[in-house]
Amino acid sequence: MDLLSFVTTVIIVTASGALTPGPLFFATVAHGAKLGAKGGLAFSIGHTLVELPLVLLLSVGLLTVADQPIIKLITGVAGGLALLTFGAFLIWDTLVKKGNKITLRGIASRSPLLVGLLFTGLNPYFIVWWLTVGGELIRRGLMFASLGGVIIMFLSHIWMDYAWLILIAYLAKKGTSILGNKGYKALMILFGAAFVYFGINFVISAL
């Protein structure tokens, strides 16, 4: 896999973690209504303070065994099945839920950075994602260029978190209804289909 293919794969696959609405997303909307883009930036930094150490820990754990067939099988199948599940549910939720509006008001904290940290670290979806989908991307990064490949993978992923959370916070302050936007729903369906495709690809590659 060349650099461009690797980075492209990481960007598309990690969208399943970055763009899928969750606790951090709704917290960003709630705080963004008051703080705007600055609030989104603070949330992103808090998110990174949890995510980066987790990625490094997983990388060290996989460093010496990344090329073992059993590790490739486990991470590939687990990551693939997780992506298939995330993609299917994303498409289902987008098609089934109608008239979805953001009604969250007020989070009990004055620090968006702290809330971003807590909503990331206490989110089961976030942990499961990095142990499955993220674990396979880390393994591929290690195979691509050892720890340097993991750094490339992380940078290819983390910019999306910053861009997305800052955008959401900015639009929330402007009073835009994010979840009611048809373009957003179309984007979610597109990403859901992409997740299903890469999920199948992960499983086939592992087997």
Query: From CA 142, how far away is CA 140, in angstroms rounded?
Result: 5
Q: Look at residue 69 in the predicted model and tell me its pLDDT.
A: 78
Confidence of residue 32 (pLDDT cuts 50, 70, 90): low
* Sequence ranges of the domains in the chain: 3-206
Average pLDDT score over residue span 54-65: 79
Q: Which of 206, 14, 39, 47 is nearest to 123 (CA)?
A: 47
CB-based burial, 174-206: b 16+ in 10 Å, e otherwise: eeeebbeeeebbeebeebbebbbebbeebbeeb
Q: Look at residue 64 in the predicted model and tell me its pLDDT.
A: 65
Single-letter code of the amino acid located at 83: L
Q: Is the pLDDT of residue 187 over 50?
A: yes
Confidence of residue 49 (pLDDT cuts 50, 70, 90): very high
Q: Which of 25-39, 65-79, 97-111, 113-127 has the lowest mean pLDDT?
A: 97-111
Query: From CA 75, how far away is CA 196, in angstroms rounded?
Result: 16
**When comparing pLDDT for 18 and 159, which is higher?**
159
Average pLDDT score over residue span 37-49: 89
Task: Share the mean pLDDT of the chain.
Answer: 76
Q: What is the DSSP code string of 155-170?
A: HHHHHHHHHHHHHHHH
